[in-house]
Structure 1
Amino acid sequence: MLKLRLLLLVLVLGVTFVNAQPLIKITGVIKDDLKNPLAKVTVTVLGQNQSTISDESGTYSIYSSTRFFTLKYTLLGYKPVLQEIKRDKEGRIVQDISMVSNINELEQVTITTRQNQLSNSSIINVSDVAAMPSASGNFEVILKTLPGVSTNNELSSQYSVRGGSFDENLIYVNDVEISRPVLIRNGHQEGLSFINSDLLSGAKFSAGGFEARYGDKLSSVLDVRYDKPDSSQAILNLGLQGGAFSSRILNKRSYLLAGIRYKNNTSILNRQDTKGSYAPNFTDVQVVYHHTFSNKFTLGLLGNFNSGIFKLIPESRETQFGTLSTLLRLDTEYSGQEIDDYQTAGGAVTASYFPKANLVIKWINSYFSTLERERIDVEGRYVFNEINNDFASGGFATTKTNKGIGGYINYARNNLESQTFGSEIKADQDFGNHVFSWGLRFERKDYQDNLNEYGLIDSAGYILERGIQNFYQDNSISIKNKLAIQYYTAYAQDSYRLSAHSELLLGVRANYNSLSRQLLLSPRLLLAYRPLSNNKIFRFTAGVYQQAPDYRSIRDFNGILNKGQQAQRSYNSSIGLDYAFDGLGTRLKFVSELYFKYQDRLIPYMMDNVRVKYLAGAEAKGYTYGADFSIGGEFVKDLLSYFRVSFMKANQDILNDGLGYLKRPTDQRVNFSVYFQDRLLNSPTYKVHLSMLYGSRLPVGAPLVQRYSDDFNIPAYKRVDIGFSKDFLDDAGMRKPRFLDRYFSSFSAYLEVFNLLNINNTVSYLWLKDVDNVQYAIPNYLTGRQLNLKLIIKFKNSK
């Protein structure tokens, strides 16, 4: 009986095995356009779970379970090849393939590999930006999932890196340094960030230890490229929060990139505690043109216009907070309105000269002008109550104790005009084992600032009895400032290949400015070692980073300028390991870094939402240390997922205040993030995109005291966003709609759920006192749960 069962089992398995055999076996050799064999080419049968990789001789073999199918051949640095196969019967097919190199991509791959080893930067997978669910819709959302980056505001594109402020981050687009508006004080006033994701060709980010070629800021560098496209293409992006259209036009000797964006996030703002009429409208236009006149000279143009207007007519606010034992509620009625607007216009011209094959010289000239205005006339009348936990009939909470009634007034008539002109010469020359770089830059910034604002709070309801002198006046300012600053900078650096496994980068920056009149020297070093196994990179960095004073840092709470302010200075060091290994069915990359920063000269500040309020007349010293860890890989083919955790401590001591070391406003001890992507098992064209963020609590001080303090905390930031997408023209699909396939190369629909768990995250506080002179922090909450729909359509190339 047992033998019979074994025999039946063998027969069943044999039949199953025979039935599972593929009908077609495809073999062949893959070569480049010079007839050299290509190794590690990925060969995929579209619509089937079949893929392989060619060996060192370029040979491959793969099976198909159908007689009509399409093979796809892909290799970084080469144009992908699609080969249709039609076979009437079973058997074997020999299919040899020739792949054509993509010169632009090959150059970028070579440069990226060398610079990634020597620049302490992370290469950003820009294809993830469109799929990542985001309430702001800005490119910077992907930065907030990277090691070393802290955040507590999904509406803002601002970010803090390793304990630094928002003003300590460098942003470059095609070698042009970008700045942001100054007056913005709330995340919902922010519109479209400068970076247009649809025009991106590449981006890399350094959270510290960056090289001397980059400017004079303390914390980080984001280097973005709008480069030559592979082909002409148009992209349309439509959603409930706005839309965008971009076009890439490729000619024989030139290319044009153009994009226009519009954003209106009224649907998100309407769900906040403050109810009223929101009218946020933001528009951005960017143009990039590049022309190759000869093999020795090219000219590039970058143009930008960014406009935003935020209008709010508040009506009422109801904020409930506290504990289970003490539940408090603030009810406010408003009158008046707030109108904020800004316009930025400008561009850059880059002339590139190639006198030799190993030398490039760039001359970059840029000019940007920004106008910012605030018009605020808002009066609030509030009732502050302690309420019962149990609810009366009708679902309304009953009042237990009245804590006070009162009112407050916010008034502003602020105008800021700024112009920035820069002219820079940069050169890079490759001597084989050496790559030598140098640059000279002149920059002039002009500011004209008219400030007239005040805030009055009657936090006990005594105004009728005692008069306006009993109001708390918050930042009462009436002043006009005019300032011009010239900056002169130079840098030189050399990357040297010490051996087949180690490289050294040495550089120095020099900076002089007309405001502090200091000559600042900043030496920097990076040592990289790659063992023979070729799956690890060890890095050590050390350097001095100095940030010259600017208008933002020298303007005090009352608008007075401290023109004697000195540059901020930080001594940085770090040690890191990149390790690639096979696990969980894929190739994983583990990245870790330990760092320490000692700052012997800092300008202390306080945080109010996204506004940095400097104590411009004070000086501090401080230290920051921490560790960043991340691991990522393609757990699902072609979809990158990663996890990271960061630990940090950032303290500072304001000199001569008698308080010693206190936490910096950006002292967020723990940050954790996840970005995970997956496909539905039986429907691979359906994808899931999950983003999770956690940031531990942030220290904050009450504004009613005239000194810096950290005796209060903003609660931990917890956020989960999820998106579902389907590309109707995905290669993984068995069938493609004929109409869509005729006109589009991609047609993707997205359903997103922002703040999936509907967590009330706090961004700042409104501070009030009750009749017993007890001070309360009324939380200003961020966005709640919200649905979003969008379409991303890529048109087929015109022939």
Structure 2
Amino acid sequence: MLEIILLLKRYFTANKLFTSLKAKLLLTTCLLFSLITIGFSQTATVKGIILDESNTPIENVNIKSNRDTGTKTNENGFYTIDIPINQDITLVFTHISHKKVESTFNLKNGEVYEFNPVMNNTVEQIAVVVVSGDRRKEVEGVVTLNPETIRKIPGANAGVENLLMALPGVSNNNELSTQYSVRGGNYDENLVYVNGIEVYRPFLVRSGQQEGLSFVNTDLVQNVDFSAGGFQAKYGDKLSSVLDITYKNPYQFEVNADLSLLGGSLSVENVSKDSKLSGIVGLRYRDNSLLVNAKETETNFRPSFTDAQAFFTYKFTNKFHLSFLGNASLNTYDYQPQTRQTNFGTLADPVALIVFYEGQEKDRYQTLFGAFKGSYFVNDDLTLQLITSTYHTTEEEYFDIFAQYRLGEVNNNIGDENLGEVEFSEGIGSQLTHGRNDLDALITNIEHKGDFKINDNRIEWSAKFTHENIRDRLVEWEVIDSAGFFLRPPKTSSNEQPYVPFTGPLEPYNNVRATNNTTINRFQAYAQWSKHSSWGNTDVWYNAGIRAHNWTVSGDGIAPSSQTVFSPRAQFAIKPDWEKDMLFRVATGMYYQPPFYRELRDANGVVQPNVKAQKSIHLVLGNDYSFKMWERPFKLTSELYYKNLSDVNPYTLENVRIRYRANNSAKAYAYGLDMRLNGEFVPGTESWFSFGYLKTEENIENRGYISRPTDQRLKFAALFQDYVPNVPNMKMYLNLVYNTGLPGGSPSYADPYVYQTRLPDYKRADLGLQFVLVEGQKQFNSGWKKPFKELSFGFEIFNIFDVQNSITNTWVRDVNTKRQYAIPNYLTPRVFNVRTTMKF
């Protein structure tokens, strides 16, 4: 911690970005121990629509709190009101033609609660609203993230995934990627839902800088839930985690805009006058040139990442609602490298790699997604849903890049006019890579869901059919010439060049060619039961369920193969009647991951239809301790977990591309400890510290246990929100991540039992400063600021300390073709960004 403070002080002093007083204040916030007594406004929000007995919206209903604040409904019957947090606040709803409604609320900071009372002419309604949503999620082991925090926290790839990296057990060593691994799993083991609809991502993406945009548009988000393991049967068949997103149901007209040097976003939401139709539309554009052009490779780089999303809901009656979720995205990636110089080694023995390039890469990823969800509310206890969705992706990866390299010793004589130049070449050579990869995938789903409540019992069920049709052509080869000698594939017979002539035929160093037309049909179903009960004064919760999954793989030249798996799961939680607020929970279950298309395709690109579902047995023990410190709420969450995996499908990981062996030839395990302390370190804002320990190993073909590619031993992260006391409109957001090095410092073709080299530790700090001109409690009735509900201008520093993190190594041979040098491929250096956000 002391080193961090000194580095921050040195950085701010050298750059003279702040006055000494402000610098000291920012240093104090980074220390996270000196807490300010003056805070942001601490409020929660109650909103909704008020109807009469015939389900007609009521205009001009007066809403008044016992704190003398109030509002009234608009012409559509909608209202919104901010109330103080962590105390009983009574709202009284009155109208000249109806009897009053009186309700009491006790909400947390930043919480948004939807309350839709029905006013009648004869009966007054008085009730105490018990908000139990947070407790229910705690029981399920679900973490809820504040959408406003997601929108404000800085990051090279800001969004929901950026905030997930600050949670324990979640890792990603590439800030340009939205992919993440959870508790030893890989990127393909995470479920993502938006409004209960499973979403997908492109197949062929191989590096973080190609991804562009995540599916989730943060401008549209209302609620974010995340589970890192031991999740219920209602969630699908993946081994690691669930990200459950809920998009907004608008209640008034609103426009949000966000602009920066990395791109921008715009969203518009509204509701019809009769309150039947509501919708929100979002547009996004992103350009990673600012980040990529700061790296050591000089390029002509023309990225273009755009998407449009929409979510509409039409209420035909009070019992039947129909929703539509749509997405269209186009990511184009044009990359023409020119030169690269990477210096590495030590001060005493510096080495440099100089590369001159010819050729280019052109990638295109186009996806279309549409889903309808019909919800029928039979009564207060029974809800039936029918969901249908279609996902279509067309992807192209075309590249021909010729690289000529020179590896040599660097002049390190201070004062010499040739300081820093390569004086002696230890290795020269060239490399030609070629690719023509095309993929066209169409995935269609239809699903029925049900939710029935009876007394303290809740029963949920689902039946789902999925049809997947994937047409794929894979053509990749690589030719390497080192010191005038053509290098053969690494796993062929011994090659003693240049000492002994080799007379065999020439072969590319790597050569993958395959054409697949594959069809997969899936039938999935689940049923689960939940109950809240008590043992005396002790609260207990139960959950038990089972999933079934049958899939059949067929296609051109493929004999149909069908398999079925069953996944029983259970959770139990108990809240003792103790003076201290403690919650204990245990979750266990059998989790299968039936292979998706990428898991069926082996390292040579050939589909293996008999690949089994990977199997994992989860055991999770958790504890939540809620307490008050400095008269403010805090919570310490701890989880111990163990996973036993069998029928594991081994893989290699290079940047974000995964190549499977497709033979279920391994078994594995993972265990660890996750801890998170979150609360109001600064009054009115949520910040947290995270710590994670993980060990995961696999045994491939009974050769013994070695580290898996995701064996991220230690993880520390901190997310902190603060403000400058003398300038209360200046907000500060700090995102710190430290991960120990991953296995992966060896060539992708290497035998993992021979190479267990790890990459360097990943260290990153992103800082955001935001000057707020207009916000919820600070509105203007005149002047140029009048149209704005929110307006702020910000400045962001990515990678404050300019740490040279690396994601992979480039391997270069010396003139003897025997010794190989690992040249790190560095990620983004320190980058500055400006940003403005506004709401109308």
Using the size of structure 2 for normalisation, the TM-score is 0.81
Matched, 1:484 2:523: no
Q: Which residue of 1 aligns with 2:715?
A: 671
Residues 740 and 747, structure 1, Cα contact 8 Å, conserved in 2: no
Secondary structure of 2:230's counterpart equals: coil
User: How far has the Cα of 1:113 moved from its partner?
Assistant: 3.0
Q: Which residue number in structure 2 is paired with residue 793 of structure 1?
A: 838
Query: Larger deviation: 665-674 or 699-708?
Result: 699-708
- The 1-side partners of 2:526 and 2:69 are apart by 46
Matches of 2:85 and 2:678 in 1, distance apart? Answer: 21
Aligned to 2:646: 600
| Higher alpha-carbon deviation: 257-266 or 631-640 | 631-640
SS state at 2:162 partner = helix
Contact 1:684–1:732 (8 Å) recurs in 2: no
Residue 231 (structure 1) aligned with residue 252 (structure 2): yes
- The SS at the match of 2:829 is coil
**1:43–1:53 contact (8 Å) kept in structure 2:** no
Query: Are the aligned partners of 1:699 and 1:711 in contact in 2 as well (CA < 8 Å)?
Result: yes
What is the deviation of 1:470?
9.5
- Alpha carbons 2:86, 2:109 under 8 Å: kept: no
Partner SS state of residue 369, structure 2? strand
The one-letter code of the counterpart of 1:213 is K
Shift of 1:118: 3.5
Q: Which residue of 1 aligns with 2:378?
A: 355
Corresponding residue for residue 290 of structure 2: 267
Residue type of the alignment partner of 2:800:
L
Q: Which of 619, 643, 666 is the matching residue for 2:689?
A: 643
Q: Which residue of structure 2 lines up, in the alignment, with residue 743 of structure 1?
A: 787
| CA pair 56-664 structure 1, distance change in 2 beyond 3 A | closer
Distance 1:409 1:497, change over 3 A: same
Shift of 1:484: 0.4
CA deviation string 1:29-84 (max 9, x = no partner): x9x99999979x7989xxxxxx977966969xxxxxxxxxxxxx996499999xxx
Aligned match for 1:567, one of 606, 613, 632? 613
Instruction: State the SS of the aligned residue for 2:290.
Output: helix
Verify: 1:769 aligned to 2:769, yes or no: no
Deviations 1:560-612 (A, max 9, x none): 12211111000000101111111145211111100000002210111100101
Deviations 1:256-309 (A, max 9, x none): 110110111111110111111000101000011101111211100011101100
Structure 2 counterpart of 1:524, from 554, 565, 569: 569
Tell me, what secondary structure is at the counterpart of 2:716? Answer: strand
Alignment counterpart, residue 827 of structure 2, candidates 764, 767, 782: 782
| Unpaired runs of at least 5, structure 1 | 1-29, 45-50, 60-72, 82-98
Alpha-carbon distance between aligned partners in 2 of 1:618 and 1:769, rounded to the nearest angstrom: 34
Query: Which residue of the partner structure matches residue 553 of structure 1?
Result: 599
Q: Distance in 2 between matches of 1:611 and 1:712?
A: 19
1:502–1:337 CA distance, 2 compared to 1 (3 A): same
Shift in CA distance, 469/347, structure 1 to aligned 2, threshold 3 Å = farther
Tell me what 2:447 maps to: 424
Matches within 5 A, 1:442-453: 442-453=465-476
**Per-residue deviation, residues 362-382 of structure 1 (Å, max 9, x unmatched):** 100000100110010100000
Superposed displacement of residue 731, structure 1: 5.5
Structure 1 residue 505 and structure 2 residue 549: aligned? Answer: no
User: Which residues in structure 2 correspond to 1:638-717 (within 5 Å)?
Assistant: 638-656=684-702, 658=703, 660-700=704-744, 701-705=746-750, 710-717=755-762
TM-score (structure 1 length as normaliser): 0.85
Aligned to 2:485: 462
Tell me if 1:296 matches 2:319: yes
Matched residue type, 1:748: S
**Aligned match of 1:63:** none
Contact 1:487 1:514 in 2 (8 A): yes
Aligned letter for 2:190? N
**How far apart, in 2, do the equivalents of 1:103 and 1:273 lie?**
60
Kept in 2, the 8 Å contact 1:42–1:52? The answer is no
1:404 offset after TM fit, Å? 1.0
Q: Does 1:243 align with 2:287?
A: no
4+ runs of 1 displaced by more than 6 Å?
Answer: 32-39, 41-44, 51-55, 77-81, 106-109, 464-472
- Structure 2 Cα separation of the partners of residues 80 and 180 of structure 1: 30
Matches of 1:188 and 1:171, distance apart in 2: 21
Spell out, residue by residue over 1:99-122, the C-alpha distance to the aligned partner (whole angstroms, 9 max, x if none).
Answer: 994569x99995733540342110
Mapped partners of 2:211, 2:175: distance in 1? 11
Closer, same or farther in 2 for the Cα pair 1:394/1:249, shift >3 Å?
farther
Q: Residues 521-566 of structure 1: CA distance to partner in whole angstroms, max 9, x if unpaired? A: 1111110111224722111000000000121112111111221111
Contact map agreement 1:699 1:713 (CA 8 A) in 2 = yes
1:668 counterpart letter in structure 2: Q
What does residue 756 of structure 1 align with? 800
Supply the AA of the counterpart residue of 2:607. L
Residue 142, structure 1, aligned to residue 163, structure 2: yes
My pick for the range that moved more, 221-230 or 281-290, is 221-230
Cα offset for 1:473?
A: 3.9
Deviations 1:123-178 (A, max 9, x none): 01111112111112333101111121011000000000000000000000011111
Q: Once the 2 structures are TM-superposed, how far is the Cα of residue 459 of structure 1 from its aligned partner?
A: 3.4
Unaligned runs of 5+ in 2: 1-45, 51-60, 71-82, 92-103, 119-126, 488-497, 554-560
Return the offset for 1:703. 2.8
Match of 2:193 in 1: 172
Checking the alignment, whether the CA contact within 8 Å between 2:410 and 2:423 is kept in structure 1 is yes
Deviations 1:216-245 (A, max 9, x none): 000000000013134221111111111111
Q: Aligned-pair distance for 1:461?
A: 3.6
Query: Aligned partners of 2:350 and 2:773: how far apart in 1?
Result: 50
Whether contact under 8 Å (2:618, 2:642) holds in the other structure is yes
Aligned equivalents of 1:229, 1:706: Cα separation in 2:
54
Q: Which amino acid aligns with 2:542?
A: L
Which range moved further: 228-237 or 605-614? 228-237
Q: Summarize the Cα distance change of 1:325–1:704 in structure 2 as closer, same or farther, 3 Å threshold.
A: farther
CA contact (8 A) 2:251 2:278 kept: no
Q: What is the CA-CA distance between 1:518 and the residue it aligns to?
A: 2.1
Tell which deviates more after alignment, 684-693 or 384-393.
384-393
Measure how far apart 1:498 and its partner are.
3.1
User: What is the SS of the residue equivalent to 1:553?
Assistant: helix
Q: CA contact under 8 A between 1:663 and 1:710: conserved in structure 2?
A: no
